[in-house]
Amino acid sequence: MSRFWKPGTEKPRIVEDEEGGILFYSASPSSSGQGYESLRQRLPAYKYRTDILYLVETHATTIVVGETGSGKTTQIPQYLKEAGWAEGGRMIACTQPRRLAVQSVASRVAEEMGVKLGEEVGYTIRFEDITNPELTRIKFLTDGVLLREMMDDPLLSKYSVIMVDEAHERSLATDILLGLLKKIQRRRPELRLIISSATIEAKSMASFFSASRRIHGREDEEHGPRKVPAILSVEGRGFTVQMFYSEEPVSDYIRAAVSTVISIHDEERMGDVLVFLTGQDDIDAAIQLLTEDSHKRKQELIVLPLYSGLPRADQDLVFSPTPRGKRKVIFSTNIAETSLTLEGVVYVVDCGFSKQCFYNPMTDIENLVVAPISKASARQRAGRAGRVRPGKCYRLYTEEYFINEMSADGIPEMQRSNLVSCVIQLKALGIDNILGFDWPASPSPEALIRALEVLYSLGVLDDDAKLTSPAGFQVAEIPVDPMVSKMILASNDYGCSEEVITIAAVLSVQSIWFSARGVQKQLDEAKLRFAAAEGDHVTFLNVYRGFIESRKSSNWCHKNHINYHAMKKVDEIRQQLRRVAQRLGITLKSCEGDMEVVRKAVTAGFFANACRLEAFSHNGLYKTIRSSQEVYIHPSSVLFRVNPKWVIFHSIVSTDRRYMRNVISIDPSWLTEAAPHFYQNQLFNPRPH
Ligand code: CDP
Ligand code: MG
């Protein structure tokens, strides 16, 4: 390994290996809460229990900073409950940016407390509510779900304390939430906020919360909690991590990651390996590569994926203790960077990238791209190796690159996202002056204006930029992207709500196809069995019909290269969307095979994503109507190589080119019909090809 790896220049501190070289695991004591008490007391957060409770008592906002694994997420809500914050019918909320983290910490806390998940401790993520209105006292939820709750309960009056966790991630929903919570605090002085974060972001957060309107230039200290936030730093007990850098820039990080895992296994003593890759596709590819490797000691490896959307049983494997004599290798997205704690990891392999969304308001295109991570992220990733004893981190990039080229911090999602959903949510909450809203990080005015424009064309906002009634409120009410909501509303007029709701459900899951390296040909053949000339959306309807006709059989899915878990999820989401639709007065109706109306409904929501095939294009080049951006149909689409003249896409992914994912063919006349305002000033002359 020494030929490839260059140790970092920073000298590692020599730390005594406390466990005498023997790995220990916080072996999950079986069932009931007993046995957890001493584990809980050993966590760094425990030493600060009294301080945390005192600060929460006396301050409106408390900022808690502490290393990953110190017990912020799992312990603080329990301390609050023990101290009486959940009495008198009140609840403690703890938000997470990621769905998988919500599920995982909620079940851990329920286990520690010895209660059944969904009773005293519960969780809510979009399309999944595991709480009981009478019993639940501690509730974990995504920041997005808490925002939605504000539509029914603007002051979030059922919560006594709201803990906004993982604030350093600066997710779009976290930032909106922080802005709104700051407003709520003025109306509800008894509400307590805890903002917790893994890295030192505390100062900017503190100044955001203290920059409130002070009366007569000074604080009113006599009554109620102090307004200036308290900052508490939980000192962890992480071990030193020795850094290694690649000597040369790495061209194929998947291969490099796999060969690094093999070298670690050959040369290093036992201890689990955590590999950071960018997404499910990378992870599947790496697992395939490692599985194909004919290594003699391979049976000692337990190779596991970790990404959001992973079925429950697979999640449990990741968190269960490693059997003696085995080594776990976990290939993860950046979900393991700070949101989840994995015990037993001693080696970290960091590819240096993650999947990030970037929106360009000029082109109006949102790209999901594999982009370099920041130094802050790289440090977090490395830190995962020092949980149980001194560890090692292998960075698949050069030290020079780390020092000179990596940016110090990431860009808040707010400043690189399409803001359509954000604006509609704020409007629905009665925030009219969006430009003047008190943001933790201001979004670009161009992005806000674009969002207003799109919402206006969707008929969601009126000339005064207020939500239209009823359409605007209905679109805001459906818990999906505004464009999808609009498509569902339009389906009512076209008499195809059953079909369109199925499409919306499929668009809410990652992918319904089961893809893995080496089976591409079989997958393509399977797709052909369902492929519809109209495009992917209609293909989804064929798949869903097949799934229902097979009586939701996993065998059928397997035979057809369809992801069974994704289909079950689609079915559940579909039932929920049908309920919401009915509540909004939409008639559930099938168009009985008339796909033209389905395509028209899709157009009514997604007209802004229309593209035209370039005349004389031999390689499938399209341009978006709005901004003449060059795009291509993604190879995974059933319309790849078919290249109809006019299409609408659902999203864009960029690799070497910009690819449209989930594409449907349309008739251009539907665009002006769906959005006359939007297209009236465009260069919109359907040229004959
Ligand atoms: O939030 P923070 O990163 O500070 O820590 P945490 O998520 O509260 O985790 C505290 C400890 O609980 C970790 O060190 C793990 O030992 C344990 N834990 C676990 O074993 N399994 C989980 N699903 C969650 C936490
Ligand atoms: Mg945490």
Running along the chain, 689 residues long, what does each successive block of 10 average in pLDDT? 61 34 33 72 94 95 91 97 96 95 95 96 95 97 96 96 93 94 94 88 79 46 74 84 94 95 94 95 91 83 89 85 93 91 93 92 84 92 90 96 92 91 93 88 90 91 92 93 95 97 94 80 91 97 97 96 93 96 96 96 95 87 92 94 95 89 96 82 46
pLDDT at 448: 92
Contact 671/625 with Cβ under 8 angstroms?
yes
Contact 423/434 with Cβ under 8 angstroms?
yes
Q: Whose CA is nearest to atom 7 of ligand 1?
A: 73
Rounded distance, CA 251 to CA 353, Å?
12
Distance, C-alpha 136 to centroid of its chain: 25
Paired sense of beta strands 345-350 and 365-372, if any: unpaired
Ligand nearest to the CA of 68: 1
pLDDT at 11: 44
Ligand 1 contact via 272 beta carbon (within 6 Å): no
Q: Whose CA is nearest to atom 21 of ligand 1?
A: 108
Q: Judging by beta carbons within 10 Å of its beta carbon (0-12, 13-18, 19+), is residue 524 exposed, middle or buried?
A: middle
Q: What is the pTM of this model?
A: 0.88
Contact 660/537 with Cβ under 8 angstroms?
no
Ligand 1 contact via 68 beta carbon (within 6 Å): yes
Grouping H, G, I as helix, E, B as strand and the rest as coil, residue 649 is strand
Grouping H, G, I as helix, E, B as strand and the rest as coil, residue 175 is helix
- C-alpha of residue 72 to centroid of ligand 1, in Å: 8
Ligand 1 contact via 66 beta carbon (within 6 Å): yes
CATH of domain 241-413: 3.40.50.300
Contact 142/61 with Cβ under 8 angstroms?
no
Rounded distance, CA 163 to CA 140, Å?
9
The CB density around residue 462, as the number of other CB atoms within 10 Å, is: 13
Cα separations in angstroms, 429 against 125, 146, 164, 415: 20, 12, 19, 21
Ligand 1 contact via 388 beta carbon (within 6 Å): no
Paired sense of beta strands 301-306 and 91-96, if any: unpaired
Q: What angle do CA 579, 582, 585 make, to 5 degrees?
A: 155
Rounded distance, CA 113 to CA 33, Å?
5
Ligand nearest to the CA of 75: 1
Q: Would you state the structure tokens that stand for residue 275, as one six-digit string?
A: 């590999």
Ligand 1 contact via 70 beta carbon (within 6 Å): yes
Backbone angles phi and psi of 663, in degrees to 5: -120, 145
Q: Hey, which of 169, 337, 341 would you mutate to test ligand 1's pocket, going by the most ligand atoms within 8 Å of its Cβ? A: 341
Ligand nearest to the CA of 164: 2
Grouping H, G, I as helix, E, B as strand and the rest as coil, residue 273 is strand
Q: What count of residues does the chain have?
A: 689
- C-alpha of residue 70 to centroid of ligand 2, in Å: 8
Q: Which atom of ligand 1 is least distant from the CA of 104?
A: 23
Grouping H, G, I as helix, E, B as strand and the rest as coil, residue 187 is helix
- C-alpha of residue 512 to centroid of ligand 1, in Å: 32
Q: Would you state the structure tokens that stand for residue 159, as one six-digit string?
A: 């919560």
Rounded distance, CA 537 to CA 409, Å?
39
Ligand nearest to the CA of 167: 2
CATH code matching the domain that covers 44-234, chosen among 3.90.1150.10, 3.20.20.70, 3.30.1330.30, 3.40.50.300: 3.40.50.300
Paired sense of beta strands 121-125 and 128-130, if any: antiparallel
Ligand 1 contact via 108 beta carbon (within 6 Å): yes
pLDDT at 10: 56
- C-alpha of residue 198 to centroid of ligand 2, in Å: 8
- Residue in the block written with tokens 């370039």: 614
pLDDT at 217: 38
DSSP state of 416: G
Q: Whose CA is nearest to atom 6 of ligand 1?
A: 71
Ligand 1 contact via 320 beta carbon (within 6 Å): no
Grouping H, G, I as helix, E, B as strand and the rest as coil, residue 285 is helix
Domain with CATH 3.40.50.300 in the chain: 44-234, 241-413
Ligand nearest to the CA of 380: 1
Rounded distance, CA 130 to CA 654, Å?
36
Q: Which atom of ligand 1 is least distant from the CA of 68?
A: 3
Which residues are near ligand 2, the ion (C-beta closer than 5 Å)?
A: 72-73
